[in-house]
């Protein structure tokens, strides 16, 4: 995080210095994959939900937050940042893999610097989904009259604001290059299935599962096309994971044995299949588009089914509290029985993987498809 001595973006910035920092960062980021043809990636820009929210929800009026202990206890400096994990999250690890930087900041971070913008940010908001209703559904789930989280439409509006700032700083041509050569990542959809469809009657009363999946895919395709229209070309889209096997879903719908909730898994499989087909169609229709489908479902399921093979001891509970239901405000420093070593757990809380799980999964998922971005 930025030190208090740094001036926020709103103060005057030395653009030449900022661009120099931007170029240096491309050459010094650790653990980066080898880019095809050694082509540098100028920025990583992320949209989605809590899996890739590095703290945007800290700065909105919402209860869906995690900017308090024990979140962040394995992060640099041991401080909670608003990331829904014990440490770094996939948006950070992806930015590092592409040789950009080690931490991808939240766009709403009040300490954001110009060089942060030039190398990319995350617009993601915990609780968002492809279904526009999902960002509002938390109000029904927690019966509290507070602001909903940032929908994908809200995130696009912030992205438009981001583009204006970049154009002002470095001009039209450099901005166009940043957008066309940068890596865009979209990670959302789990909350649509786990919360909006299976936890409330808001959609299930009107749609069967195939019908709801079609609604999600249509919304996803519109979102990708909107990003394309704003200049994005290299867009990686993470599939929905085996959501029925995360601890909270086991607790709520897995029966007395807390098995995987297979209806949610089957919905995820159906969505992933239709999403992949839709992305193939968009690649054929949109000139120079590189929409890359990134399978999360099978790699995560492999960890869950064979934890010891990957160095884990616990696969069906989170580290925080009992590990069965605690997430966000329910996972706090008063939570009893929180584990001492999160690296032994696939899940940090009842919904989000641990940093150690992300460190294993992210290279597996990205490196398999890295050539498809270029």
Q: What are the residue numbers of the active site?
A: 50, 349, 352
Sign (positive or negative) of CA dihedral 290, 221, 369, 107: positive
Distance CA 263, CA 257 (A): 16
Cβ neighbours, 10 Å, residue 104: 29
DSSP letter assigned to residue 244: G
Residue 72, CA atoms < 13 Å, CB-side half-sphere: 19
DSSP structure class, residue 122: B
Do residues 51 and 89 touch, judged by C-beta distance below 8 A? yes
Tell the burial category of 51 from Cβ atoms under 10 Å away from its Cβ (0-12, 13-18, 19+): buried
Quickly list DSSP for 40-105.
Answer: PP--EEEEESGGG-SSGGGGSS-S----STTTTTTSGGG---S-SSSS--HHHHHHHHTTS-S---
Cα–Cα distance for residue pair 184/336, rounded to 1 Å: 39
Q: Which two tokens stand for residue 185?
A: 């990542």
């Amino acid at each position: 995080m930025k030190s208090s001595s740094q001036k926020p973006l709103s103060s005057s910035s030395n653009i030449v210095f900022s661009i120099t920092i931007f170029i240096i960062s491309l050459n010094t980021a650790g653990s980066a994959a080898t880019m095809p043809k050694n082509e540098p990636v100028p920025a990583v820009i992320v949209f989605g939900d809590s899996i890739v929210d590095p703290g945007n929800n800290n700065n909105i009026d919402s209860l869906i937050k995690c900017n308090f202990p024990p979140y962040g206890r394995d992060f640099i400096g041991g401080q909670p940042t608003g990331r829904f994990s014990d440490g770094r999250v996939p948006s950070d690890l992806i930015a590092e893999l592409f040789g950009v930087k080690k931490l991808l900041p939240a766009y709403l971070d009040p300490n954001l610097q110009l060089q942060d913008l030039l190398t990319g940010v995350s617009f993601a908001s915990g609780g968002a989904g492809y279904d526009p209703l999902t960002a509002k559904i938390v109000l029904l789930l927690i019966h509290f009259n507070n602001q909903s989280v940032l929908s994908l439409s809200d995130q696009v509006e912030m992205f438009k604001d981001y583009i204006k700032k970049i154009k002002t700083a470095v001009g039209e041509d450099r901005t166009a290059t940043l957008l066309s050569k940068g890596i865009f990542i979209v990670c959302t959809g789990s909350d649509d299935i786990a919360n909006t469809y299976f936890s409330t009657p808001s959609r299930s009363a009107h749609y069967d599962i195939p019908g709801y999946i079609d609604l999600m895919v249509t919304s996803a395709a519109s979102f990708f096309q909107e990003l394309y229209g704003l200049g994005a070309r290299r867009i990686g889209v993470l599939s929905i994971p085996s959501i029925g096997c995360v601890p909270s879903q086991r607790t709520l719908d897995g029966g007395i044995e807390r098995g995987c909730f297979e209806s949610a898994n089957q919905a995820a499989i159906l969505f992933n299949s239709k999403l992949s087909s839709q992305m193939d169609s968009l690649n054929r229709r949109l000139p120079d588009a590189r929409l890359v489908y990134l399978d999360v479902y099978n790699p995560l399921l492999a960890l869950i089914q064979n934890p010891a093979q990957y160095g884990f001891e616990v696969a069906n509970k989170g580290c925080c509290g009992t590990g069965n239901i605690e997430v966000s405000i329910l996972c706090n420093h008063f939570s009893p029985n929180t584990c001492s070593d999160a690296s032994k757990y696939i899940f940090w809380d009842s919904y989000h993987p641990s940093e150690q799980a992300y460190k294993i999964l992210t290279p597996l998922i990205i490196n398999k498809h890295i050539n498809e971005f270029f």
